[in-house]
Amino acid sequence: MSAIKIDGKAYAERLRGHVAQAVKALPAQPGLAVVLVGEDPASQVYVRSKAKFTVETGMRSIEHKLPADISEDALVSLVRDLNADPEVDGILVQLPLPKGLNSDRVIEEIHPDKDVDGLTEASAGRLSLGKKGLRPCTPTGCVMLAKDTLGDLSGKHCVVLGRSILVGKPAALLFLEQNCTVTIAHSRTKDLASVCREADILVPAVGRPQMVQAEWIKPGACVIDVGINRVPSQRFEGKTRLVGDVDYKPARDVAGSITPVPGGVGPMTIACLLRNTVIAACHRRGWDVPSILDF
């Protein structure tokens, strides 16, 4: 029996609808500032999508498009200005930055109360300590999809495959917040396949195309595939296609539910960014966070 396909695109659309309802209930319009440096085509596409959905949900989109040769000090100065701007509730610096710019230094300049990507050291510290703060978008989307599919996650064994600071580690902490028993597995884990087979919830996030095979998956498990990898097309010469970290077709015959790539975790990232912007606005301005944003 084929696994249930977890439709991240549909969930993200519902979440954006909840964000729009929440915005309407607020005393003022939240503002999201996005900083794009250089001409990277993929980054330009992401920024356009973020701006589009920001406006569609009723918030203000504040875009700063900067040349690739901007000095690091000038970029840091802009971030500091945005920190001080009372009309800006969230700040996002689109990564990767052009060569020569220290992304760590720039990101650390973002005030944690406006860190809607959840990438600063302060945000990571708040997450690890269980304190109120803005959570990383992609890992939050993973938890949302798992919870929507399985309901209460308490007591589930979650195996996160990957230990990156962007996805693996924060995902593990967020599933721990849901009272899961969490294992972080990685390239040096002994007998990796057997560790993955223990998972009720398997979250591959390593960036290696189709690494996770069907026999790595516990029958009936929920698989949240974070990987987005571009590989040569099998049908069209010279073209490429997107695949996840899971060998999707065979995995469907074993898993109970699984996210596709594309259309799984990916769409959740922007939707969670918009949710974070509303939460940031509420925390900064002393408003109650609308309950419609709970999950």
Query: What is the pLDDT, as a whole number, of residue 142?
Result: 98
The predicted structure's pLDDT at residue 235? 82
Q: Does residue 85 lie within any of the structural domains?
A: yes
Q: Is the peptide bond before 262 cis (omega within 30 degrees of 0)?
A: yes
Is 295 a domain residue?
Answer: no
Q: d(Cα 267, Cα 237) in Å, to the nearest integer?
A: 28
pLDDT reported for residue 234: 81
Q: Is residue 271 part of a domain?
A: no
- Same domain for 254 and 141: yes
Q: Are 251 and 232 in contact (CB under 8 A)?
A: no
Verify that 141 and 90 share a domain, yes or no: no
Reported as a single tens digit per residue, the pLDDT across 79-110 is 999 999 999 999 999 999 999 999 999 999 99
Q: What is the CATH number of the domain that holds 229?
A: 3.40.50.720
Shared domain check, 106 and 39:
yes
Q: In the chain, which residues have pLDDT < 50?
A: none
Together in a domain, 142 and 84: no
pLDDT digit string (tens) for 121-144?
999 999 999 999 999 999 999 999
Q: Is the dihedral of CA 49, 50, 56, 61 positive or negative?
A: negative
Give catalytic status of residue 117 as yes or no: yes
Residue 203 resides in a domain: yes
Q: Is residue 17 part of a domain?
A: no
Q: Establish if 35 belongs to a structural domain.
A: yes
- For residue 253, the model assigns a pLDDT of 97
* Structural domains counted in the chain: 2
Same domain, 34 and 107: yes
pTM of the shown model: 0.95
**The pair of three-digit structure tokens given for residue 149, joined into one six-digit string:** 């599919």
Q: For residue 197, what are its two tokens?
A: 């087979």
Angle among Cα 43, 49, 50 to the nearest 5 degrees reads: 90
pLDDT score at 237:
84
Which of 104, 102, 120, 101 is CA-nearest to residue 112?
Answer: 120
Q: Based on the domain organization, do 260 and 195 belong to the same domain?
A: yes
Which CA distances in Å does 233 have to 141, 206, 213?
A: 28, 21, 20
| One domain, residues 62 and 167 | no
User: Which of the following is catalytic: 89, 94, 113, 114?
Assistant: 94
- φ/ψ bin of 82: left (φ > 0), alpha (ψ from -120 to 50), beta (otherwise): alpha
Which residues contact residue 194 at a Cβ distance below 8 angstroms, ignoring those fewer than 6 apart? Answer: none
The pLDDT assigned to 288 comes to: 96
Q: If phi over 0 gives left and psi between -120 and 50 gives alpha, with beta otherwise, what is residue 290? A: beta
Question: Chain centroid to CA 16: how far?
Answer: 14
pLDDT at residue 1 in the model: 66
Q: Are residues 168 and 261 in the same domain?
A: yes
Position 57 in a domain: yes
Instruction: Tell me the C-alpha distance between 106 and 252, whole Å.
Output: 41
User: What count of Cα atoms within 13 Å lies in the side-chain half-sphere of residue 43?
Assistant: 18
Based on the domain organization, do 218 and 261 belong to the same domain?
Answer: yes
50 is catalytic: yes
94 given a catalytic annotation? yes
Q: Which position among 89, 113, 115, 117 bears the catalytic label? A: 117
- Is residue 226 within 8 Å of 265, Cβ to Cβ? yes
For residue 156, being part of any structural domain is answered with yes
Parent domain of 42: 28-117
| Amino acid found at 61 | S
